[in-house]
Amino acid sequence: MSFLPYAVAAWVFLVGLYGIVTSRNLIHLALCLTVAQSSTYLLLLAIGYVRGGGPPIFKGVKLGTTAVDPVVQALTLTDVVVSVTVIALVLALALDVHKQAGTVDPDEIQEMSG
Amino acid sequence: MDNVVNATTYDIRALDTLGEEFILFAAVIGVVLLLRGGKEEHGEVEDDIGSDLVRVFGALAIGATILVGLWLVAFGFVTPGGGFQGGVAVAAGALLLYLVAGHDEWSAFGNEMLLDPLKGLGAGGFVVIGLAALVAGMPFLTNFFSGGNVGTIWSGGSAGFVNWAAGLEVAAANLILFAEFLEEYIVPIARRA
């Protein structure tokens, strides 16, 4: 089992996290959140990967053929849907903030309320 | 059914997918609530899509994208695909209508009057299929009939219909989200004009 996919997942997560921490724009922050979440797809697929395994679709395939784990793939599908719902809500909130405060810079918003 | 990912999602763990579907449902309701208000009537929105080439190829792309989406839903349990993936592709095809035909043509289709019932039908259909298994004396969301050989459209059994319900729900949910965000964008432009 190669450690490369796990390393890449960690790297993608850290890149997203760095973006979130240093973000000066709520839209940018929402996209960074999506990047960070993308690392979980990679993590899940890496867990389910079997060396030399084919896709878990068994049509015209001999019995006993090695295939990758379908359960984590189904879980990844759930993950994608959750990602979509989260970004939709975050973007809607960002729009609302822009309407109320006239800015999407988190620092300026705090200055206004304080 | 020979796509095990699809079988996991829509048959074996269909109950989880039902929950997931209602997450989507709740999120869309949340977005609609957050972005409510400020929807005063706006006049003609300027759309300058002058190129006939864009319109012709756009129309072809709409047909092709929706067809791919429907195929993904219909044969999700045979080949890679499924309700969620196909639903997103169908929604993308419908969005192309806005890109190539303009806002007025889009809004004839992309409005709450049409999309909200479709979304409800998708979510409700999922539950009804689950209850149908219950009526037949089996646990909730059991795949209650199976006909046809592996690899055919009938091999999915009732999970095939669950795919369709999920596809409908996902397509409608995506289009509602798009319509809501578009409304936020169009109304300020109309106000400026």
Cβ contact B34:B183 at 8 Å: no
Q: What percent of chain A has pLDDT over 70?
A: 96
Q: What is the mean pLDDT of chain A?
A: 88
Helices B112-135 and B158-192: crossing angle in degrees, nearest 10, is: 160
Cβ contact B127:B71 at 8 Å: no
Predicted confidence at residue B49, as pLDDT, reads 67
User: pLDDT digit string (tens) for B90-119?
Assistant: 999 988 888 888 777 787 777 778 888 888
Between A71-80, B38-47, B51-60, B173-182, the lowest mean confidence (pLDDT) is in B38-47
Predicted confidence at residue A96, as pLDDT, reads 86
**Domain range annotation of chain B:** 4-27+51-192
CB-CB under 8 Å, A93 with B177: no
Q: Which residues of A touch B5 (CB under 8 A)?
A: 56-57, 70, 73-74, 77
Distance (Å, rounded) from C-alpha A112 to C-alpha A101?
A: 8
Pull the structure tokens for residue A91.
Answer: 């973007």
The mean pLDDT value for B21-48 works out to 77
Q: A106 falls in which pLDDT band (50, 70, 90)?
A: confident
Predicted confidence at residue B46, as pLDDT, reads 62
CATH topology classification for A4-113: Helix Hairpins (1.10.287)
| Nearest-Cα residue of chain B relative to residue A90 | B31
Residue A54 CB neighbours (<10 A): 12
Residue B42 pLDDT > 60: no
Q: Which of B129, B164, B163, B154 is nearest to B144 (CA)?
A: B129
Q: Which residues of A touch B79 (CB under 8 A)?
A: 57
User: pLDDT digit string (tens) for A15-62?
Assistant: 999 999 999 999 999 999 999 999 999 999 999 888 888 888 887 777
Cβ contact B135:B10 at 8 Å: no
| Residue to substitute from B12, B22, B24, B34, interface A, most A β-carbons within 10 A | B34
- B145 CA to centre of own chain: 25
| Residue to substitute from B8, B73, B75, B126, interface A, most A β-carbons within 10 A | B8
- A26 CA to centre of own chain: 17
User: pLDDT digit string (tens) for B112-155?
Assistant: 788 888 888 888 888 888 888 888 888 887 877 766 677 677 77
CB-CB under 8 Å, B34 with A78: no
Pull the structure tokens for residue B138.
Answer: 């089996």
Q: Which long-range contacts (CB under 8 A, 24 or more apart) does A45-54 make?
A: A45/A5, A45/A72, A45/A73, A45/A76, A46/A5, A46/A6, A46/A9, A47/A72, A48/A72, A48/A73, A49/A1, A49/A5, A51/A1
Interface ipTM: 0.80
Distances (CA, A) of B49 to A68, B102, B134, B188: 47, 7, 52, 20
> What is the longest distance spanned by two Cα atoms in chain B?
62
Chain B residues with CB under 8 Å of a chain A CB are 2-5, 7-9, 13, 16-17, 20, 23-24, 26-28, 30-31, 34-35, 38, 78-80, 82, 84-85, 150-151, 174, 177, 180-181, 184
User: pLDDT digit string (tens) for B152-188?
Assistant: 777 777 888 888 999 999 999 999 999 888 888 776 6
Predicted confidence at residue B38, as pLDDT, reads 59
Residue A81 pLDDT > 70: yes
CB-CB under 8 Å, A82 with B79: no
CB-CB under 8 Å, A77 with B84: yes
